[in-house]
Amino acid sequence: MQISVIGSGYVGLVAATCLAELGHEVICVDSDSAKIAALNAGETLIHEDYLQELLSRHRGNRLSFSTDLRAAARNSVVVFIAVGTPSAENGTVDLSCVEAVVHSLAEAMNGYKVIVEKSTVPVYTSERVHNALSPNGHAKAEFDVVSNPEFLREGTAVTDFLYPDRIVVGSGSERAAAIMREIYAPLVDGSYAQLASAVPKPEPARAIPMYIETSPRSAELIKHASNAYLALKISFINAVASFCESVGANIEEVSRGIGSDSRIGPEFLRAGIGYGGSCFPKDVAAFRAVTHEFGFEFPLLDEIKRINDEQRIRFIGKVRSALGTIKGKKLAVLGLAFKDGTDDVRESPAIKVIEQLLKEKCQITAFDPAAMDRARQILGSRIKYAADAYAAMEGADALLILTEWKEFANLDLVRIKHVLRSPIVLDGRNVFSQAEMAEAGFSYFSVGRPALEALRSLLKKGQSAR
Ligand code: UDX
């Protein structure tokens, strides 16, 4: 199949590369000529497992890069739109990049095409795309608009694309639906996974994805509702974690107990300082805005965000009470990325916590295994950057863990205690076990797991109440 993918960001580049891996002829287009030059020179621009390998395998062969959208579209039967859909001020989605692409496509129509929305867009965008492609009801050629949302996570984007839980295709036309089935056939019939050269299937992934065909509107809504639901799960567990702190329960035990119900499931029940990234904050706001636009109030979505914001405020409160005053204190921060396994700092809770601590006149030295450069673009010289985790802690009044990098859990506790000025650790991601921290002699504060001191005072309260 001849395919164009417009946009070479996370979604576009991964989709283009993986579609080439499935055997299609793909042109990936971006208006940024520097990006296209870098991709043509073999640079991946983003760090994702297997991406470099697949790019080297297909670049100059089944996969090419270009800035010429019209030429790419003319050569393709299927055009995936994977350009950015950022948030506007009021949470609505800024569709200007999608509109610009569609405007160019309208001029390039030279035969039947399937236009696929891959970017996350609000419900009814397919109608808008349709109308823009046929002004006054006349298009240059026949076409169909399909919604095919992408559910990839940063860090596992390639395997999420090649071994997804589900593929959702929203189409109002059998002709387009048949073409989409053909595109994904190697994943749905399992033939891709059988290839000797296939990217190996990660352990928890389904061997065969569910292939879900819907209307375009349902597909658009599935994407927003999925992300909002995952964000809801995180906010729910974070609210329960706060209550655990009030009553001396342990959120990890509670999460395990809740998540073992197969109707709930264990994923996305990790308490912490809240979610971030390029999707959840934007999509929760966009979903709220689109429901409001259609006259349906959905205040639960506001509550998801409110709880998420509150998690950071609560955490900073813990820093304050652990240190007495925080003005002028030297703090070591481990973790800048919005989650582990990525260098992405967009909407990172870690950066937001740091911004607040800087307002309160703390001095911060930070380390992150991958996100230092990107964090520097935001925080500049307002904080110091350490060469490794221990260097960040040198002489600090407390250590703050703000991203759930697995390697932080393997740090040497004796050495940490030795380099810190005072043995105070505030763990915003529950990376360490309470028992080992107590044994190592730290004053240890985490999320939803009351500190030993707090447990003692709760016990006293209970006894005097009785
Ligand atoms: C998410 C969705 O998972 C993906 O399907 C969608 O296509 C894009 O958005 P991503 O942004 O890469 O993917 O990150 P994800 O792994 O989902 O984590 C999002 C945030 O939630 C991170 O900040 C993470 O730290 C936080 N999180 C996640 C928790 O705080 N607790 C959890 O239990 C899980």
**β-pair partners for 444:** 425
In angstroms, the Cα distances linking 372 to 14, 362, 365 are 23, 19, 11
Residue 355 has pLDDT above 60, yes or no: yes
Question: pTM of the predicted model, to two decimals?
Answer: 0.94
Distance from Cα 286 to the centre of ligand 1, integer Å: 17
**pLDDT tens, residue by residue, 276-304:** 999 999 999 999 999 999 999 999 999 99
pLDDT score for 366: 98
User: 135 or 33: which carries more pLDDT confidence?
Assistant: 33
Nearest CA-CA partner of 344 in 50, 45, 91: 45
pLDDT, one tens digit per residue, over 328-352 is 999 999 999 999 999 999 999 999 9
Rg (CA), the chain: 24
Atom of ligand 1 nearest to the CA of 340: 25
* For residues 227-249, average pLDDT: 97
Catalytic residue among 18, 28, 279, 362: 279
C-beta of 233 in contact with ligand 1 (< 6 A) = no
- The b-or-e profile of 397-419 (16+ CB within 10 A means b, else e) is bbbbbbbbbeebeebebeebbeb
Nearest CA to ligand 1 atom 17: 153
Domains by residue range for the chain, with CATH: 2-214 (3.40.50.720), 224-306 (1.10.1040.10), 311-465 (3.40.50.720)
Please identify which residue in the block is written with the tokens 């390039």: 108
Q: From the CA of 120, how far away is ligand 1's center (Å)?
A: 15
279 assigned to active site? yes
Strand (E) or helix (H) holding 246: helix 216-247
For ligand 1, say whether the CB of 268 is within 6 Å of any of its atoms.
yes
Mutate to test the pocket of ligand 1, among 151, 154, 226, 275 (most ligand atoms within 8 A of CB): 275
429 lines ligand 1 (CB under 6 A): no
Q: Is 153 in the pocket of ligand 1 (CB under 6 A)?
A: yes
**Which residue of 235, 236, 339, 408 sits with most ligand 1 atoms within 8 Å of its CB, as the best mutation to test the pocket?**
339
Q: How far is the CA of 343 from the centre of ligand 1 (A)?
A: 14
